[in-house]
Each structure stands twice: as structure tokens, then as C-alpha cells.
Structure 1
């Protein structure tokens, strides 16, 4: 599962702006409005579902958080790969996520406080295969799969530049290579996170470590090296070991990308997840706490979301022209705003985020939220 990377206070604020442990029971009094609607009531100690069986095909999971903590909802394969997810569901709020599922066994997990394995409920999709979909969506999935693989393939050489500098003890060269090495990952992060075990190794922040983990021995990945470079301002033998491990883990990611389960709805939901990543980590400045390279990640997240949207747009535009018109407008507005923080439109040299004032951060946050709201409707638009 994706580790939390923000403080509880920030999570609550982010969840409100964006308007999944101890028990798990079947909800007996839910009023579903369709065979493919699953209502989930999440509290701090329960994850109640309206049904344990539903027909294979397009499924809507409607979540209401009646607890006191920000929560997340996951639909998982039996091996914990992620089918779909929705993060940062604030107390007293509701979210709906659309997924495309084949017949088989699954797990719904609510994660109050956004930590741990969550409160789990086994469910089953029954019936035959998913109905035949628009061939243009199959084409979109194939194109996105190619895009995700290309991002992984292009990331490894950049990571090697970064890790070679770390192992050579060259602080300035390593600092310069750090942000560029993360761009491909940030563009396609939902695909990597779907595997469950890779993200905690390479992209967890110190405040995202699970209870009982030691930052000095259990913390690995980019952000551990970020701390050495910008806070500690020195590189040790441990950093060299971490550099090698980062290459190993990202090579594993590169090899596994091609096996990811990708559907039109997972593409659309992934685009929304990338905007949520921006809202809860980049805009707040918590993602790149030491290096302040948040705007590089920010831009990469937006690019990844826009790639998914662009591939799905031909079908979405036919089903909901007003939605795609709004998405075009909000993507353009956010990209224009981001361009103000770099030298030119082709450069990935962005203003250090610690130089971005509160008013400007608020403007960026508002632009992200203006895009995230209509983007949350994209999955439903491609399956109408």
C-alpha cells in the first residue's frame, strides 16, 4: 500500500479541499441503486459494505466516511495489487470511484488514518467476462501501457546518473541529478503503486514509515538520500548502499510495468490520483521536504494525468462533452500557471519551492482543486 507522506493535520486539510483497526462487517441495511453499486461506510474501526457479491463489469464504489480520521478506500486483487483506490476522504465526506473488474475474488480495504493494511472485507465479482468495450478504449490502454513502460525505461539511466554521483561522494552532482531522476516515476506513479511493494521501498518519506520502523535502518529510497544530500550534507557508505538498492528496486519496477493491470477506468482513476498527490504532497511542500524540488514532481504528476486524459478523451468527449471542455480548460490553466515558475516551457528547471510564498501556493492549490473535481468524473464518462 502507498505509505502516507503527510501530517495528519495536513491530510485533514487536503481532504477537505479535495471534497481508507479492528473490525470489518457486512452492512445489512444499505439501499443500493443497482447491482453494480457497492456502498461502503467507513469509520475509525469499521468498513461496512452493502454487498459481498456483485456482477463483473463496471462497478461503482460509493464511500462515506463517518469516522473522525481521513481515510482511503482500496479494491485489491488477492495478492494485494491495487485495482483502484481513492485517497484523502475526509471525515463527513463522500467519494465515488468507478472500476472495471473481471469475475473473481477481491478485497475492499478501508484505511483510517491512511496507515497499515486497513480494515478488510472479502468480496466477489460473479458472472462472465466484462462486456466488450469501445475499440478506441482498447487502443488507449495499449498506448498508455507503452507510455508507462517508456517512462520506466527512461528513468533508469537518469537514476544511474544520480546514484553514481552519490557513490562518488559528489554532493553537487547528486543534487543536480536528483529531481530529473524522479520525473518518469512521478508521471506514472499509480501504475507503480498498484504493485504494492515497490513504492514503500523507493518513495516513502520519513513520516510515512510504519510504526516500529527505524529511519536509520528501514528507510530506503530517494527521500532517504535526499535527506543525506540537503540536510546532513554528507554522503556515507550507507548512502552508497542505498544508491545500489534504489537501482535494484527501480529495475524491478521497470521489469514489472508490463504486467500491470490497466483498464480505461484505472487510467482515469490514476489521473485523479496524480492530482491528489499534488494536492496532498507537492502543494504543501512536504514531498520534497529537504530539496524543495516539489514543482518538478508537480509538473510530472500533471503531465502523467494529462497523458491518461488525452488518450481517453475521444470516448469521454462523446459521452460528456461538457466535462472534456472543462478538463481542457483546467489543464491549460494549471499548465500556464506552472510555466510561471520555470525558465521556458521545455525546461525542468523550476523555482525552489521554499521561495514560493503562501499566496502563490494558495493559487496553485486552487488550480489543482479546480482540475481535480472534474477529473474525478472521467472514469464514469468513459464507461457510459
Structure 2
């Protein structure tokens, strides 16, 4: 089972920490503090765990037998503040950045998939450092960090899906049921990226009612979900009308193997896309508007599917998806937060409203569990609890809808 971050870890302090990465002048590079990093198959050795704020250069040497990456993460373990990738065996690359005071995490990712190795705390003490960036540079950096976040989430999704699919195909339903909502969290954080790829999201994540309505073969997470949580004889599909057993029966061993293989292949296609120039070009063409619109889209996902209980109809694990959507939305917002706040008094007030909206929504959601410890089943929520969450989504959605126009002013 792969580790996950709690929703409550996404504090405003962690948002501010995203200023760690910045444009580094050549003069500053010459005086940068050098830190040696050695990456191997199972370790990521960083020569020091604490520095004083200022320009720093992580010199990463790959002594393993796979291409590797090096990451500096915010303290929540989710937000990327600096990374260098494609370090071939026997070679080295340097990550140069302006290190602001705060608590961070370092790790390496041999093979460029999974959770990484050598995860360790990294502390930056001292005073905040002024970073001289143009507006264009600041926005380009936000887009680059979001690209790194998406690639990281998908690289974690790949082995998690492989493990989940293997458990399902082998008939180990208990393990597969436990993994189902946790694996989906990686996908739910970056769902708008997959939704932009034609029929890829339908193959991965369509509900039965949607696939039937569009005349598509029903595959992906929710096809597997129905096998794992066999519906009662009197159960209805998520359309509220069709008997769950109509035109459907539990998958045979051969069908399970097929659905498992298809899901693994579709996630591999997603991985290939987010590591391609096409993905980077698409993000660049959208600019920071793509980030703010992504934050809005993920909140819409919560409002139209998760809060109704229709997404994970058979398992009742909608709150896991809910939490991951909110994490992904807040992550995208955080990258343009300071741009909006610095746009004037109105922008600063808007950011305060959005910060408050996320905090209130997180607090209410935390009353029902967390991604780390698990959530209660969605059907066990009372109507009043569902209304509270729905109302808080609407409160947050209103200022968030103004974000794109604010950062483009």
C-alpha cells in the first residue's frame, strides 16, 4: 500500500513555501552553496540536511543503473518546489534554486516512477531572500512547477495501478478494495489533464451510466469497482432507475484479466503523454490561465459528482475522490496565488477569500476522515452533512471563479 498525504497538510504556510524555486542570476550561481546528492537504486544521499537561505546548487550524481530524478518538495510531500530529471546512469545534473526559509523534503526517483527513495527532511533557516523576477518569468515558473506536479502524480499512479490491477485480476478482492480509493487519489488530483485527451478519460474513469449513454465499451476503474463491490439484487445503477443486474454479470477470470490489462495500458498512455513535448506545449499555450482554470475544473468535479455520491456508486468511496480533487485544485491555485495577491487590493482580498474557502472546506471534510487514515462511506453521511459540504463548495467556487481574470489583468 502506498503512502498518502492528508488533506489537512495543505496549509497556507506550505503555499508560501512554493516561493523556494526562483530565477537564479549567473552571478548568484557562482556564489551558490553546493550540496552533493548521490542517487542509487535504493538511496538518495544529500550531503547536508540544513542550510541557510540563499542560492543553492544541488549537484546530483546518478550512481544507479536507471535514469533518475531529484526532487525538493514542500513539507506536505505533495508540492514540488524544485526538480531535475533525466539524469542518466553515470552522469550528473545540477538543480539551482533560491532556498527560502522553511521545512522541505528531498528524494530521488530511480526509474522515474513510484514514490521515490531516500525521502528525508531538509531545513532552510535564516531570512527570506528577495527574488528578482519579471512577471513573465514568474508565470513561466508556475507553469513549469505544475507540469512537474502532474508528471510526479502520474509516475506514482503507474506502479500503484499495476499493483491494484494485479490484485483484482488474481481475485484478491480484499486487497484490491483497500487499494481502490487510494490509487484513484493520484488520478483525481490531475483529472482535467486526462479529460483533455479525447477518449482516454472515458476509458479510465467513466461511470456505467455514462458509458451506456454514449454507446462505449465500459472499462476502467468503475468497471472494476462493480466487480469488487458486487451490488445487492435490488440495487439500482447510478441513474437511479436501471436495475444493477440488468445486462450485467460479474466478470469471469478472463474478463478480469482483460480489464486489468486495459487499465494498466491506459495509465501507461497517460504517463507517456505527460512526459511528452505535446503536454508541455499544451500547458505553455494555456499559461497560468490553465492553472487557475484547472483549479476551478477540479472543484466542479467535486460539485457535480463526488458530493452527489454518484462517482463511486458501488464502493461509497466518494470522499477519497473528493479530498484528492480538492488537493489538486488547491495545488493549482497555490502556484498562481501570489500572482493574484500582488495584482492589487482586489486581488489580495480575493486570495484571502479563496484561502478561507479552502480552509473551511478542509476542516469540514476532515471531520469524516482523511486520505491517510481513510474516510467514512459516503452513504453514511447525513443529509445535513452533505449539505454542509455542498454549501462550502459553493462558497469557495464563487471567488475561485474570479481567479483567472485576476491573474491575467
Both proteins in one fold, TM over 0.5: yes
How much does 1:382 deviate? 1.0
How far apart, CA to CA, are the structure 2 residues paired with 1:264 and 1:212? Answer: 33
Q: Displacement of 1:197 after TM fit? A: 2.2
Q: Structure 1: how far apart are the matches of 2:269 and 2:135? A: 32
Q: How does 1:107-118 map to 2 (within 5 A)?
A: none
Distance in 1 (CA, whole Å) between partners of 2:225 and 2:290 is 31
Number of residue pairs the alignment of both structures matches: 248
What is the Cα deviation at residue 209 of structure 1?
1.7
For 1:159, the equivalent position in structure 2 comes to: 161
2:289 maps to 265
CA–CA distance in structure 2, aligned partners of residues 147 and 135 of structure 1 = 18
Alignment match, 1:330: 357
Question: Partners of 2:342 and 2:351 in 1: how far apart?
Answer: 9
Aligned CA RMSD, in angstroms, stands at: 1.7
Paired residues of 1:166 and 1:235 also in contact (CA < 8 A):
no
In 2 relative to 1, CA 334–156 (structure 1 residues): closer, same or farther, beyond 3 Å? same
Go from structure 1 to structure 2 and tell me whether the alpha carbon gap of 1:152 and 1:207 turns closer, same or farther (over 3 Å shift): same
Report the CA distance shift for 1:293/1:322 in structure 2 as closer, same or farther (over 3 A): same
Instruction: List per-residue Cα deviations over 1:171-227 (Å, max 9, x = no partner).
Output: 11111111111111100011111122210110001111254626xxx1110001111
Q: What SS does the aligned partner of 1:169 have? A: coil
Inter-partner Cα distance in structure 1 for 2:160 and 2:189 = 14
* Deviation per residue, 1:240-259 (Å, 9 max, x gap): 21011000001000110133
CA contact 1:192–1:257 (8 Å) conserved in 2: no
Larger CA Rg, structure 1 vs 2: 2
Number of the residue aligned with 1:358: 383
Q: Return the TM-score normalized by structure 2.
A: 0.59
Structure 2 residues not aligned, in runs of 5+:
1-133, 233-249
Runs of 4+ in 1 over 4 A off after TM superposition: 232-235
Conservation of the 8 A alpha-carbon contact between 1:317 and 1:324: yes
What is the aligned partner in structure 1 of residue 267 from structure 2?
Answer: 250
Alignment of 1:86-235 (within 5 A): 134-209=136-211, 211=213, 213=215, 218-231=217-230, 235=251
- 8 Å CA contact 2:230–2:314 kept in 1: the answer is yes
**8 Å contact from structure 2 (residues 320, 371) kept in 1:** no
Given candidates 213, 226, 238, the residue that maps to 2:255 is 238
169-178 or 138-147, which moves further after superposition? 169-178
Name the counterpart of 1:40: none
- Cα distance, 1:284 vs. partner? 0.3
Q: Which has the higher contact order (CA 8 A, sep 6+)?
A: 1
